[in-house]
A and B are shown apart, each in its own frame.
Chain A
Amino acid sequence: MTTDQALTEYLLRLADTDMVLAQRFCEWCGNAPALEEEIAMMNVGLDLIGQARNWYDYVAELRDDGHDADFLAFRRNEREYRNLLIAEQPRGDYAVTTAKQFFFDVWHHLVLTRLTESSDERIAGIAAKGLKEATYHRRRSTEWMLRLGQGTEESHRRLTDAVQNLWRFTYELTDTDEIEDQLAEAGIGAGNVGDVWRAEVARVFAEAGLELPEPARHFYMDGKNGKHTEHLGFLLAEMQYLPRAYPDATW
C-alpha cells in the first residue's frame, strides 16, 4: 500500500471513531442522569464531531475525488466505515457509556499526544488542537470511573458488568496492524500505544477497585478494516437517513 493510501485509511479510522462515538452521545440527549451531565456529554460530542470534520476534510483533500467531509460521514456504508468496534457499541446505561468512553479516551489521548509530533504538519496541527479537548475528556471519564467504581454497590456492580462486556473490544486499542506500523515507521502515525494504555487503565482500575482482565485478543471482528458488529448498520441508517433519502438536497 502506498503511504498516501495508508494515510487516508488511517485518518478515516480516527474520523469514523470520533463520529460514531459522537453519534452515541447524541442518543443521550434528553436522557442524561443529570442536567450537568447532559451539558458535559454534549461538550464531548461537539469536540468529537469537530475533530472528525478536521480529519474528514484532510481525507477529502488527499483523495481529491470531488467528495467532501459530509460525503465521507453520511454516504459511506458499514463495510466502508473504519471506526474502532468499541465506539459503535450501544450506549447502554451510564456505566457502559463511562467504561467505553474511558477506554477510548485513554487511547485517544495517547494517540493524539504522539500525533502532535507527526512529520505530517497537517496531522500535527489537528492533533494539537484535539489534544486539549482529549485531555479534558480523559480526566472526565477517569473521574467517572472512580465515582462509579467506588460509589455504591450498585454502581460498582454495573461498572464491573460494563467492563466485562466491553473488554473484548479493547484489543483494537492495544494492537496495531500493517497500516499503523507502516505509518509509524514513516514518522506519520502514532504507532502502538498498547503498553502505555494498559498501564494507565491498570492504574485507574486499581483506584476504582476493579479487577483488570487479561489482555483482550483479536476475535474475527476488525473495525479498522470494516468488519463491524451488527450495531453499526443501525447507527448509520439513522445518522445517514436524510442525505440518503434526499440525495439531491442541500441542507
Chain B
Amino acid sequence: MYAQQVDTGSKGLKSLDEMSPEERHFQEKVDAEVRIEPKNWMPDGYRKTLIRQISQHAHSEIVGMLPEGNWLTRAPSLKRKLQLMAKIQDEAGHGLYLYSAMETLGADRDEEIEKLHRGEVKFSSIFTYPTLTWADMGAIGWLVDGAAIVNQVPLQRCSYGPYSRAMIRVCKEESFHQRQGYEILLTMMREGTDEQKEMVQDAINRFWWPSLMMFGPSDTNSPNSAQSMAWKIKRHSNDELRQRFLDQTVPQLEFLGCTAPDPDLKWNEETGHYDFGEIDWQEFFDVLKGHSPCGVERIQQRKKAIDEGQWVRDAAVAYAEKKQANNAA
C-alpha cells in the first residue's frame, strides 16, 4: 500500500542465460519460492529495490500516524479514544519492525529517516490528505487500511524473508483496524444524527479516490513492475489489486447506505467485476511530486519531532555509556 512507484533501477528483464552464475542461482531460488534471507547473496538491484520499498513502507506507517493523531485529542468517547490510541500505537510498531527488516539489508534507519525529512524519499500519497472530521477516522480505517491489506496480503509471500514475516504480523493488525474503522462509520450511519450521516458521506467522498490511488499508477504506466514481479517482491499488478479492493469494498459501501463519488461505478455482469471511472492521475502525480494538501506539514512535523528530540536521545546514549563505564570499572 504504502509503497508506490518503487524504482528497481532495471532497464529490462534478463533471461537466465544472460545472468551471472550467482544471479542465476538467486533467480532459481526465487522461482522455486525459496525465501531469500539476509545472509544470502542477492543482486544489488534487488537489495536496493527492497530498501526503497521497505523504507517507503516504514515511513508511511510513521507519517500515517499523523492524520489520525490529529483527532486523538478530540476522540468523542473513552472507547473511541482507546481504539484510536491503540491503532496509532500499532502503526508505530509496524514502522519499527519494517525499519528492522530494512536494516537486515544493510540500510540504516536514521539515514533513511533523514532522507525522508530532506524530501529525497517518499511516503504514501494517502497521508498527505487532511483529516477534517471525526468520520475521517472511520473512513481511513475502512478504506485506507482496507487498501493496505489488499496490497500487503500478497507481500506476506514476498521473496525476501524478513519483509514477508513482518507483513504477516502487520496484516493481522490491519484487519482489526479495518473492522474498527468500518464500525465507526456504521455506528454513525445506524445510530447517528443527520449531521453525523452527512459527515460519513463527506468523508467517503474525500477518501474514495485517494484510496484507489494508493495502488499506484495503472499497469500501462508502471515501468518498475516487471522487474519487481520477476523478483517476486510484487505478486500482482497495480490494476489487479485495485480491482480486487474495489470489488470487496462496494458491497460494504452499499451496506453502509452510502454512495461513491463516481457516477461510472457499476456492476459488470460480463466481467464479474465493478467498472469504475477514470482516476485523476494528474492529482496522483502532483501529490507524489509534493504538490499536496498536507505533505509539507507532515514532513515538517516529523522533522521537528526528531530534531527536538535530539537532546533526549543524546542524554540516553550518554547515560548508557556512563553506566557501562561504571559497570566495567
A39 touches B308 (CB 8 A): no
Q: B48 interface residue, CB < 8 Å from A?
A: no
Task: Give B316's nearest chain A residue, CB to CB.
Answer: A147
- A38 and B73 contact, Cβ closer than 8 Å, known pairs A49-B82, A150-B322: no
* Stretch touching chain A among B213-221, B238-246, B299-307: B299-307
Q: A1 interface residue, CB < 8 Å from B?
A: no
Residues of B near A33 (CB, < 8 A) are 305-306, 308-310, 312-313
B62 touches A251 (CB 8 A): no
Q: Which of A26, A35, A49 contacts B92 (CB 8 A)?
A: A35
B311 touches A152 (CB 8 A): yes
- 17 A-B pairs within 8 Å (CB atoms) are namely A23-B73, A31-B305, A33-B312, A34-B309, A34-B313, A35-B95, A38-B89, A42-B85, A42-B86, A69-B78, A148-B315, A152-B315, A155-B314, A155-B318, A249-B196, A251-B134, A251-B187
Residues of B near A52 (CB, < 8 A) are 78
Q: A194 interface residue, CB < 8 Å from B?
A: no
Report the separation of the CA atoms of residues A155 and B312 in the bound assembly, to the nearest whole angstrom: 7
Q: Which of B82, B191, B302 contacts A30 (CB 8 A)?
A: B302
B312 touches A251 (CB 8 A): no
Residues of A near B93 (CB, < 8 A) are 39
Q: A73 interface residue, CB < 8 Å from B?
A: yes
Residue interface bits B57-86, CB-to-A below 8 A is 1, else 0: 000001001100100111111101110011
A46 touches B96 (CB 8 A): no
B74 touches A242 (CB 8 A): yes
Given contacts A42-B89, A241-B74, A249-B76, 15 further A-B pairs with CB under 8 A are A27-B73, A29-B85, A30-B69, A37-B309, A38-B89, A49-B78, A94-B312, A150-B318, A154-B314, A155-B312, A155-B314, A158-B311, A242-B75, A250-B188, A250-B196
- List the 3 shortest-distance A-B pairs measured between CB atoms, nearest first: A33-B309, A151-B315, A155-B315
- A39 and B96 contact, Cβ closer than 8 Å, known pairs A30-B69, A45-B85: yes
- A242 and B85 contact, Cβ closer than 8 Å, known pairs A30-B69, A31-B305, A250-B187: no
Q: A248 interface residue, CB < 8 Å from B?
A: yes
Q: Tell me the chain B residues, 313-327 only, with Cβ under 8 Å from chain A.
A: 313-319, 322
Give the interface size bracket for B toward A.
Answer: 35 or more
Report the separation of the CA atoms of residues A241 and B70 in the bound assembly, to the nearest whole angstrom: 13
B312 touches A243 (CB 8 A): no
Q: A108 interface residue, CB < 8 Å from B?
A: no
Q: B193 interface residue, CB < 8 Å from A?
A: yes
Residues of B near A151 (CB, < 8 A) are 314-319
- A30 and B66 contact, Cβ closer than 8 Å, known pairs A46-B86, A151-B314, A251-B188: yes
B74 touches A239 (CB 8 A): yes
A251 touches B77 (CB 8 A): yes
Q: B158 interface residue, CB < 8 Å from A?
A: no
